[in-house]
Amino acid sequence: MARTAGSDGGKTQAAIRDAAISLIARFGYEAVSMRQLAAEVGVQAAALYRYFPTKEDLLYDLMTAHMQALLASWQEARPSTAEPAPRLAAFVRNHIRFHVERRHSTHVNNMELRSLSRDRLTAILRLRASYEKELRQILRDGAEQGAFTVEDVTLTAMAIIQMVTGVIVWFRPDERLSVAEVTDTYHKMTMRLVGAREN
Amino acid sequence: MARTAGSDGGKTQAAIRDAAISLIARFGYEAVSMRQLAAEVGVQAAALYRYFPTKEDLLYDLMTAHMQALLASWQEARPSTAEPAPRLAAFVRNHIRFHVERRHSTHVNNMELRSLSRDRLTAILRLRASYEKELRQILRDGAEQGAFTVEDVTLTAMAIIQMVTGVIVWFRPDERLSVAEVTDTYHKMTMRLVGAREN
DNA sequence: GAATTAATTGAACGTTCGTTTTATTCTTGT
DNA sequence: ACAAGAATAAAACGAACGTTCAATTAATTC
């Protein structure tokens, strides 16, 4: 057999991306075979190679798209004010919202870095660093203006990132807490963590 | 050929555990082959099966040992006082010390849960839950006694665990900060996070 | 409606995987 | 000195892996 009725390259490529994110998030990159992925999409394994030259190319594509979407969402959400407190609040709230909405691809980006080649790992880490730099700048401004108490900007930034990204490890929608409640509590904890003045 | 001069089952088993932790932490469970592991130990792949019936048995052995060592270290370190603040301080300090000392096996326990069978996953998660329960109890006592400000005990416990375990993601000894400095800063951040009264 | 391009199949490639089997050598207790 | 058992090597097993290739059909273009 050959080309099937109604087949469309664009739709197939999108379906591959979706299936790959969900399968890799659940079972891990190494544990997911190209045949298993193809079966989920509803094609033969060979068809995948029309869209992604290798398995690693597919992984890199997914991770790059995730990081670029994260950076874009922060550019969209960042406030214009120079005041540290509302900027930190916006960062935490946007971060949690984005990561809860994209649990699966966040999982892929956090767990599968070691399956990338050196160059591609470097590229992803560069994108990640530029995102974390935004948080460090907020903390540095807050410390300099006396609005925050921060012992070490880099360390505090990592602590906050780990804390808020960790939401996706345990949070499941439709449970005890809503996204809004979780975000509110994390916002309060973050503000206390940096010793923000009450106002 | 067959048995080699100076071979000793006890030493070989310990060498297998050490090599497995370091290789799996670096490359991931699925990516490490039994042949690669055997080469690191300095034996043939078949020799591994004298000590561990299957690859998954080996992984489960490593993860169980890690969790039991963690619980044991807390039993050793927990203070006898009923005051929440020193108890929380001891928890955070012991947690960071333990995890920095055992970066590799912590990595294995955090990353490879999905490679376990259902029953074994449940067993590991049970051990983990009993550890987290200790932290929740401290937070609950602190909130009830008015020593802490805690919006949600479960959520705050997860936030603290994620934050302090995250140290191993970025911290490397022999760098800018010492373990003691990192521990001190995390201790201060944790105390502010839970709104601990100064005293 | 013929020619061209796009999308997919089915079969096969060589390699590596976890694991088993069998035979051989070393160590230990008597 | 020798038997018993522990420890390992070497080779092999079938299955699964990522990937390639030629053939074939559907859609598009002229």
Instruction: Outline where A6-102 has alpha helix (H).
Output: 9-27, 34-41, 45-48, 55-77, 84-101
Encode chain B (199 residues) as per-residue pLDDT tens digits.
Answer: 566 766 665 788 999 999 999 999 999 999 999 999 999 999 999 999 999 999 999 999 999 999 999 999 999 999 999 999 999 999 999 999 999 999 999 999 999 999 999 999 999 999 999 999 999 999 999 999 999 999 999 999 999 999 999 999 999 887 889 999 999 999 999 999 999 986 5
* Nearest beta carbon to residue A166 from set B111, B159, B193: B159
| Residues A77 and A112 both lie in one domain | yes
State how many domains chain B has: 2
Same domain, A36 and A76: no
| Residues B88, B74, A190, A166, Cα dihedral to 10° | -160
Residue A140 lies in a domain: yes
CA B2 to chain A, closest CA, distance in angstroms equals 34
CA-CA-CA-CA torsion for B93, B113, B158, B130, nearest 10 degrees?
Answer: -70
Closest-CA distance, B7 to chain A, in angstroms, reads 34
Q: Does residue B173 fall inside a structural domain?
A: yes
> A14 is in which domain, residue-wise?
1-53
| Together in a domain, B32 and B76 | no
> Are A6 and A62 within one domain?
no
Tell me: do A87 and A184 sit in the same domain. Answer: yes
Please identify every stretch of chain A with a pLDDT value under 70, giving residue numbers as ranges.
Answer: 1, 9, 198-199
Q: Which residue among A11, A29, A53 closes a domain? A: A53
Protein-strand D interface by C-beta, 7 A: A 1-7, 32-36, 45-46, 49, 53-56; B 1-4, 7-10, 12, 38, 42-47, 50
Nucleotide nearest B7, from its CA to each C1' = D7
Residue A199 belongs to some domain of the structure: no
Are residues B49 and B94 located together in one domain of the fold? no
Q: Please report, for the domain that includes residue A182, its CATH number.
A: 1.10.357.10
Give the torsion through C-alpha atoms of B180, B186, B189, B194, to 10 deg: -120
Claim: this prediction has a pTM higher than 0.75: yes
Q: Domain of A13: which CATH number?
A: 1.10.10.60
**Residue B188 and residue B177 share a domain:** yes
Residues present in chain B in total: 199
Residue B70 lies in a domain: yes
User: For A112-160, what is each residue's pLDDT tens digit?
Assistant: 999 999 999 999 999 999 999 999 999 999 999 999 999 999 999 999 9
Structure tokens at B72: 């044991």
The four Cα atoms A169, B176, A145, A191 give a dihedral, to 10 degrees, of: 20
- Tell if B3 CB is < 7 Å from nucleic strand C: yes
Mean pLDDT computed over every residue of chain B: 94
Q: Do B166 and A169 touch (CB under 8 A)?
A: no
Say whether both A76 and A132 belong to one domain: yes
Asked whether residue A158 falls in the same domain as residue A142, the answer is: yes
Does B198 reside within a domain? no
pLDDT at res. B11: 83
